[in-house]
Amino acid sequence: MIVNDFFMLMKQELMIFVIIFILLFIKIGKDRSAENLLYFINALLLINVISGFILPSEGMIFSDMFKTNSLIMLEKNILNIGTLIISMQSYSWLKNHKHMIEFYILLLSTLMGMFFMISSGNVLMFYLGLELSTIPLAAIANFDLDKRKSSEAAFKFIISSAFSSGLLLFGISLIYGTTGSLTFSEIGQHITSNPLQIFAFVLLLAGFSFKISVVPFHLWTADVYEGAPIAVTSYLSVISKGAVLFVFVSVLYTVFKPITEIWYNMLFLLSIVTILIGNLFAIRQENFKRFLAFSSIAQVGFILVGITGSSQMGSASVIYFVLIYIFSNLGAFGVVSIVSALTGKENISDYKAFYKTNPMLSWVLTIALFSLAGVPPTAGFFGKFFLLMAGAAKGNYILITIAALNMIISFYYYLRVVKAIFMDENNQPIEKLHVPILPKLALLICVIGIVCIGLMSGVYEYIYSLSTGF
Amino acid sequence: MNNYSYISLIPLLPIATFLLLGLFGRKYFSSLSGIIGTLSLSVSAFLSILTAYKYFFVDGKVNGVFQQIIPLKYTWLQFSPTISIDMGIVVDPLSVMMLVVITFVSLMVHVFSLGYMKGEERFATYYAFLSLFTFSMLGLVLSTNIFQMYMFWELVGVSSFLLIGYYFDKPSAVAAAKKAFIVTRFADLGFLIGILILAFHAETLDFQTLIARLTDPQSSQILSSVTSSLFGVSALTWGLTLVFMGGAGKSAMFPLHIWLPDAMEGPTPVSALIHAATMVVAGVYLVARLFPVYCFDVSALQVVTYVGAFSALLAAVIACTQTDIKRVLAYSTMSQIGYMMFSLGVSKYGGEEGLGYMASLFHLFTHAFFKSLLFLGAGSVIHMVHSNEMKDMGGLRKHMPITHITFLIACLAIAGIPPFAGFFSKEEILLAAFHSNKLVFFVALFTSGLTAFYMFRLYYSIFWKKAAHLHGEHHDEGTFTMKIPLVILGACALLVGFVPISQFITSDGIGLETHIDVIFSITPVALAIAGILLATSLYKNENDRPIKISLAFGKFYEAAHKKFYIDEVYLFIIQKIIFNLIGRPAAWIDKNIVDGLMNLLAFITAEFSEFFKGLQSGKVQSYALYFFAGIFGLAVLFIYLVK
């Protein structure tokens, strides 16, 4: 329904705002046991997820600064679900952390930033949301306080982000200079292919590409992923990437529609480089987090292939893939985070003969990796297939061939990990782990998501019906 | 039309068995799992045969044509307004025949395994995997939609991976399973792109609509797929050739055949199922399913013809030199599938000209019986002597009479001696080749002589040659459950040649009058007999003639024995070229240039700024550098160069 009610339109943002306030009051109040507190916070996040699905509304407020509709609400719900899963997975790590509440406050602030970014109808609003979603992240990247690598990661992240934001802002100012407007809908009417606007577009593209780790703007990714606590790494790799991708698609498909020809070619180039570099580097990684970092770069390359489709199909398949990617990647990160929190081991070689001691975790990890690799009947297979299908609609078979070839390469390295888990010998395998209930539940959700979303055709059709293209 | 929806039970029973055995089998009823699997599959087999009877004899033709019936179909996913992905079941002569072949052979393998795999620790897992495989294969042949087929196609790959790698504590089995998986995945990549191309131009994924649109010369879809081209080849040809690439991977056609011999590491009954009658003929099935479209595009069909003929010849030559009995059978499978492929390739759509299509599927039908018999016989031999090598065998005919007789029948059938099954189908193939492509015909003729030779070399090496010297403990021919399938399949190898397939399965569904041309048959039969006689003189008794001959052929024998170095060429390409040209430089650049640059920057930074010394590795600057380079590159490229 179309309303102008502030409370209805911003209900998802307000919900997060309320949770942050509750957390602040808890922080001020007396000490409580960490375990109970974590259950309480996760319950709050669950309420947040559920409330997101109630009463979808549509409209624009604050002189078109903030807009929302069913698709945007769905995107926010997807991010909410991902955040809940990450929070549940980090239980073991957060339980022993002194500054747990601050962690949640910072994390939720970034989530709110992403919500504003997705809902923005104006370039300034977009920029504000982007910054709000970045700066607190740098703070929580530093949350392994006694680890030097963690602070290094935070520092690299904040410097790189500042750099990219600066250039993004430069691009925005050029856009303003040439179009005389800051509202997305008006900018779209004044975009032509004059060189200054193309240059401004390149700057904006670089800013987006930085956030979603597109080669050559990806270099911070591996270092930050490796150094940051795993909860933050998984947040960076799925939630923050997902949010920027949602905006990226809508900006490309609406604002820069007049220069589709140009950005199509740019994305064509970038996606090939991204898939190739991501894959070639992923092959030789030994650290599991670095491995997932590079493989996630390659995944983004595939998403770009879908975006080049520039159709309703393209937009729908990207959102669908992000949803699947959240479950698959968090399934993998979840196991890695549990193992890391309980044993401190983070190398792929540590996982040799993992199956002998931890069969359940091994299966979860295997299913997640298969989904990332795109093996049927996991959801990842459908996601990748739909992306390629959307990309193929433009008839550019060179791109599709390279992308499909790289599916084989990625297959090889995901299988390498599976082989280590099931077939390799190891004198000192990771001991039998006792997994607490919350992370266990989170992994269960991931597996259900991976298995079911692919097979339930309604999910895709629902997303398709909400999407727009041209 | 009669109701055929019960057909969905045929694949559903095996998947239910898989779930039952996979989840609970190992814990609760490990020893019973074989019986459960066999019983459930026998129901499937019974239903399949019932379907065939009903389809061909009760319903029969309508207006002189066998109808394509789609008893079950629902739209699983509306991908975009024009393209939908359906799940359904197709009933036509092709799929009905495949149903019978798959369930029957699978049932035989299930029964045989009761004895062969007895005492295995993971007995229930084995039966669970067998059921999964059977389910995926049945799903594949029943697909109404090319995407549905692709899904089952991949599932077949996954389950065959599990079966080949069943002995996962054996490194060679793991390596073989991986090789099979990666090679067929690579081929499936072609299939995937082919689907995308065909779907893009035909604007549908449904087989019926796709075929209707792409065979109608007036349709806008055919116009767009013929006019748009890449490297001077039309999109239609690309699409069909790439789809064929997927089929060639599964069917082990040159040059994608390298996984098949290695896949013999799996349990022998598995080879009988996967590598004789089901998965390896999936490629033939795929081409046959899209046959009307292939007929429309001559160049794609030419590719099918020559790849098939070359594979048939190459595999036969290699088979003459192998000493591992399962590998001989593997190459012989590849050779026979080559026959089916080129037979499709030389065919045209409908009428007398469509003889090749019918012959190909006829051969698929007969081959399924005698080849699975050969594999099961080999399994029973291996069960007895605990070795795959010919040198450990010989003189076994007295010790295993049933295996001996049935194996002989199968050898006669594959050699094409009348009245055994292989004779009839091979005659039709040769006749079809003779009428349309003389070169292929002579290749096929020569290959059929070779086939007789190497099959009887195998036969004599196992059952004659020298006195059996069995050592060790108790030996016997195997349990009752191992002998029964051999006898049944032996009877089939004798009789199925008389099934008038030509009445039922033709490209246009009308049916074809065929007769055996006695004059024409003389040459191939004489060649086959010559091959058998040659093998008899060389291998029946131990003598040094084979060694002399192999010395006389020298390098050629050596090359054939080493499978013409094809594996080595692949290894060379992968390890030397890809690894050195891409992997090493990437690693080197990363290690020396990128890291070096960063170390240098780190050093400079450390000199200049005391504050960041401990914290900053200096890499961030270079990240910024790349960032700038990216922007600069894109801007220059798109503002100045690409207009």
- In the block, tokens 């131009």 appear at B201
A464 CB near a chain B CB, below 8 Å? Answer: yes
Percentage, residues of chain A above pLDDT 90: 25
B399 neighbors B477 (Cβ within 8 angstroms) = yes
Task: Assign residue B6 a region (left: φ > 0; alpha: ψ between -120 and 50; beta: otherwise).
Answer: alpha
Residue in A159, A174, A202, A370 to test binding to B, most B beta-carbons within 10 Å: A202
B616 CB near a chain A CB, below 8 Å? Answer: yes
d(CA B448, CA B315): 12
Tokens, residue B254: 């040159």
A404 contacts B634? CB cut-off 8 A: no
Select the residue of A152, A167, A280 nearest B617 (Cβ to Cβ): A152
Residue in A294, A360, A367, A457 to test binding to B, most B beta-carbons within 10 Å: A457
Phi, psi (degrees; rounded to nearest 5) at B562: -90, 20
Q: Which of residues 378-397 of B touch A (CB under 8 A)?
A: none
Q: Quick one: closest CA in B to A411, which residue?
A: B182
Cα separation values, A225 from A151, A213, A228, Å: 12, 11, 6
Q: For residue B583, which residues of chain A lie inside 8 Å, CB to CB?
A: 280, 283-284
d(CA A344, CA A26): 30
CA distance A160 to chain B (A): 7
The string of DSSP codes covering A207-231 is HHHHHTT-TTS-THHHHHHHHS-HH
DSSP H helices, A284-311, are 288-308
* CB-defined contacts A:B, below 8 A: 135
Element (H, E) at B84: strand B84-91
Select the residue of A202, A313, A405 nearest B80 (Cβ to Cβ): A313
Q: Which residues contact B68 (CB under 8 A, 6 or more apart)?
A: B90, B91, B92, B208, B509
Tell me, rounded to whole angstroms, the distance of Cα B335 from its chain centroid: 12
Select the residue of A206, A312, A415 nearest B627 (Cβ to Cβ): A206
> What is the DSSP secondary structure assignment for residue B145, as one 8-state letter?
B
A260 CB near a chain B CB, below 8 Å? Answer: no
Tokens, residue B559: 């090359």
Q: In the prediction, which pLDDT does A470 show?
A: 58
- In the block, tokens 């890391």 appear at A340
Give the other-Cβ count within 10 Å of B529's Cβ.
15
Q: In the prediction, which pLDDT does B616 show?
A: 35
d(CA B19, CA B15): 6
A164 contacts B615? CB cut-off 8 A: no
CA distance B642 to chain A (A): 9
pTM (predicted TM-score):
0.75
Q: Which of residues 156-175 of B touch A (CB under 8 A)?
A: 158, 168, 174
Cα separation values, A123 from A126, A169, A242, A428, B550, Å: 5, 10, 19, 55, 79
pLDDT in tens, A139-169: 988 888 888 888 888 888 898 899 899 999 9
B278 neighbors B285 (Cβ within 8 angstroms) = no
- ipTM of this complex > 0.90? no
Tell me, rounded to whole angstroms, the distance of Cα A34 from its chain centroid: 28
**Highest mean pLDDT range out of A126-130, A212-216, B535-539?**
A126-130
d(CA B133, CA B160): 7
A265 contacts B642? CB cut-off 8 A: yes
B631 contacts A167? CB cut-off 8 A: yes
∠ CA A406-A408-A413, nearest 5°, is: 95
Q: Quick one: closest CA in B to A383, which residue?
A: B79
Phi, psi (degrees; rounded to nearest 5) at B74: -135, 150
Element (H, E) at B78: strand B69-78
B151 contacts A388? CB cut-off 8 A: no
> Could you tell me which of A182, A216, A161, A168 has the C-alpha nearest to residue A63?
A182
Q: Quick one: closest CA in A to B74, which residue?
A: A457
A392 CB near a chain B CB, below 8 Å? Answer: yes
Q: Which of residues 54-113 of B touch A (CB under 8 A)?
A: 76-80, 85
Q: In the prediction, which pLDDT does B408 show?
A: 86
Q: Quick one: closest CA in B to A171, which residue?
A: B631
**Rounded (10°) CA dihedral A131, A134, A137, A141:** -130
B199 contacts A389? CB cut-off 8 A: yes
A453 CB near a chain B CB, below 8 Å? Answer: no
Select the residue of B151, B182, B189 nearest A405 (Cβ to Cβ): B189
**Rounded (10°) CA dihedral A251, A254, A256, A261:** 120
Average pLDDT over residues A423-447: 85
Average pLDDT over residues A263-279: 86
| Residue A110 clears pLDDT 90, i.e. is over it | yes
Q: In the prediction, which pLDDT does B626 show?
A: 78
d(CA B539, CA B464): 8
> Could you tell me which of A417, A420, A411 has the C-alpha nearest to residue A380?
A411
Task: Assign residue A344 a region (left: φ > 0; alpha: ψ between -120 and 50; beta: otherwise).
Answer: left
Cα separation values, B193 from A180, A204, B223, B242, Å: 45, 33, 20, 7
A359 CB near a chain B CB, below 8 Å? Answer: no
Tokens, residue B512: 């074809």
| Residue A129 clears pLDDT 90, i.e. is over it | yes
| Residue A32 clears pLDDT 70, i.e. is over it | yes
The CA radius of gyration of chain A, in Å to the nearest whole number, is 21
A246 neighbors B546 (Cβ within 8 angstroms) = no
CA distance B49 to chain A (A): 30
B626 contacts A408? CB cut-off 8 A: no
Q: Quick one: closest CA in B to A320, which residue?
A: B79
Phi, psi (degrees; rounded to nearest 5) at A120: -70, 140
Q: In the prediction, which pLDDT does B618 show?
A: 46
Please report how the helices A100-119 and A123-141 are oriented relative to each other, as an axis angle in degrees rounded to 10.
Answer: 160
Q: Quick one: closest CA in B to A221, which residue?
A: B623
Could you give the 3-state DSSP secondary structure of residue B76?
strand
pLDDT less than 70: residues of chain B: 1-2, 25-26, 225-226, 229-230, 232, 351, 466-478, 509, 511, 514-516, 540, 542-619, 642-643
Q: For residue A405, which residues of chain B lie inside 8 Å, CB to CB?
A: 189
Tokens, residue A327: 């479950």
pLDDT in tens, A33-56: 888 888 988 998 998 888 888 877
Contacts by A177-184 with C-beta closer than 8 Å and gap 24+? A182/A122, A182/A123, A182/A124, A183/A64, A183/A121, A183/A122, A183/A123, A184/A120, A184/A121, A184/A122, A184/A123, A184/A251, A184/A254, A184/A255
Could you give the 3-state DSSP secondary structure of residue A431?
coil
Select the residue of A203, A219, A407 nearest B631 (Cβ to Cβ): A203
Q: Is the dihedral of CA B586, B587, B588, B594 positive or negative?
A: positive
Tokens, residue A166: 């600066």
Percentage, residues of chain B above pLDDT 70: 82
B512 neighbors B354 (Cβ within 8 angstroms) = yes
**Rounded (10°) CA dihedral A426, A432, A437, A439:** -20
